Copies of this chain bind each other. A is one copy, B any other.
Amino acid sequence: MTRIYDDPAEFADDQLAGFLDLYADRVRGVHGGVVAHRGDEPQVAVVIGGGSGHYPAFCGTVGPGMAHGAVVGNIFTSPSAAQAYSVGRAADQGRGVIFSFGNYAGDVINFGIAAERLRADGIDARIVVVTDDIASAAEEERRRGIAGDFTVFKVMGAAAARGHDIDEVERLGRAANAATRTLGVAFSGCTMPGEDEPLFTVPDGHLGLGLGIHGEPGIRDVPMLPARELADLLVDDLLKAAPAGAPGRIGTILNGLGTTKYEELFLLWGHVARRLRDAGHEIVDPEVGELVTSLDMGGCSLTLMWLDDELDPLWRADAYTPAYRKASAPLAALRAPSGDELAGAEAVVTAPEAGEAARRLAGTVRDALAAVESTIREHENELGRIDAVAGDGDHGRGMLKGITAATARIADLGPEVGGGWLLQQAGQAWAERAGGTSGVLWGAALEAFGRHLGDTAESYPAGVVAAGVREFASTIEQLGGAQPGDKTLLDALLPFTDELERRVAAGEELAPAWSAAGQSATTGARDTAELRPRIGRARPLAEKSVGTPDAGATSMALIVTAVGRVLEGT
């Protein structure tokens, strides 16, 4: 829906005023439209136009290498002959004017009159009408002009920029039109400024094949297609309508009509490109984006211009307009990264060689992770119920996905791998599969723990393990950004870590110290019931959570307790 306007009746003039302000460094407003700034060498003036509502058609493609002026009519309405005449006069650089526009009755008449008036003033004026829409008529000369406007303007703009005379620019424009075919589909109509109802509609779940850009009748409505089939339909119908003796090089536009977005067009482009190449065509400088739109209409069109040796360089040539900019120099200065340069990114990183102590540690890590998995599996539903009080209830499920991925990953690793590496791999698997913030934090923390332990130590005394737990906790603090008392897993983890460090520093063995510290985790988790979360929850949910402990702190306490039992048993 069109939403931004003041007086709907003044929409076309008001938007043009904003455009002229924005691009005051390159265009100048004149009665009826805009003219581009000009170079020292006079050129044949290519003056394009039609109604508003089709941006970047038409004023968005005025500039070096494209058009020299654009006539700006009211929304979806031909400009008047007086407008076209005025812009033509202002754009003329003494080498004549070519008016070019899509084949609509009003435009044909008004530009025709304007050309007559220019000739009466002694200015050579020609007309090149664009007729690319294969859905609109069987006879080529009766077809409407849609996104093929762009290829024709592009060729003439490039030809004019090369200094060709008016006969030659006109001839090349006609050649471009004769070589261009477009087929479009609409998914939804568009709404004029100030109106609540769309100008036309497409039945829900259907696409209008060949529907015109102002809602003119198309070929037929068909049920909506998957992208691959839509691409096949567009390509196949266009190839059937190819000009006789068509060569294999094709300039291509996949054009969005307004509300069909870039990502959708890219996805469709993948299929279009494959289908064209499968048919033996070489795709030259494809353009995917919005070049000829219809306000907020949903849909797209595919334009093919069969290129010969004359049209090819004109299609490839540089241009610099408000909406369409193309330059060969910036790309020519670059090269693709070499395989060596990219190798680091995708190489499979192998486990470092592990010492004897690290291999013994690996056994403990495997046992501990197995115990964690079984504990989480046992408490999955309970954790879910706690989380559902003020969250989305997926904490148990997410933790189980994480630990399951972790144990599956280390099950693939052999007995030569050390415990530090196992923890790093477990952490990566956990983060990638568990999803959610807690999954990423658990994964990163395990990875940090494993990196701290490493696989080359002669032994893993209690102090090293406690320092590894501190790394685990610090990673979560730094990445998660929470503070103690924020009702997060830190409220179980930090009391545990502090107590473990204190006992180990006092000379206690790891296993009893861990189990005793585990009591602090359990107490800390239980006490979160009295807290309000300070991050990540809206106020009503925060209030609701009082009286229920934090799910992440609860699972943390369960896990350290389970690991404590493993350590006591080894």
User: Residues of A at under 8 Å CB distance from B?
Assistant: 1-6, 11, 14-19, 21-22, 25-26, 28, 30-31, 35-39, 52-53, 55-56, 60, 63-64, 80-82, 86-87, 89-90, 92-93, 105-106, 108-110, 112-113, 116-117, 120-121, 187-188, 207, 217, 224, 226-228, 230, 258-271, 273, 286, 288-289, 293, 295-296, 298, 300, 318, 320, 323, 325-327, 330-331, 333-337, 341-342, 344-346, 428, 431-432, 437, 440-441, 443-444, 447-448, 451, 475, 478-481, 536, 538
Contact = CB atoms under 8 A, between A and B. Distances in A.
Contacts of A266: 15-16, 18-19, 22, 55
Contacts of A187: 1, 3
Contacts of A109: 437, 440-441, 444, 479-480
Given A28-B336, A268-B18, A337-B28, A342 B90 contact: yes
A470 to B, nearest CB: 16
Nearest to A89: B345
A447 B120 CA distance: 11
Nearest to A114: B444
Contact of A89 (B82, B105, B344, B428): B344
Nearest to A217: B538
Contacts of A273: 18, 21-22
Given A331-B37, A337-B90, A5 B342 contact: no
Instruction: List the number of copies, as a whole number.
Output: 2
Given A1-B188, A30-B342, A90-B345, A264 B15 contact: yes
Contacts of A105: 437, 481, 536
Contact of A295 (B21, B90, B263): B263
A260 B53 CA distance: 12
A431 B81 contact: yes
B4 A267 contact: yes
A3 B86 contact: no
Contacts of A480: 109
B334 A26 contact: yes
Contacts of A346: 30-31, 86, 90
Nearest to A24: B336
A263 B441 contact: no
Contact of A227 (B4, B258, B336): B4
Given A90-B341, A109-B437, A259-B296, 4 more contacts: A22-B266, A39-B335, A87-B345, A320-B327
A63 B451 contact: no
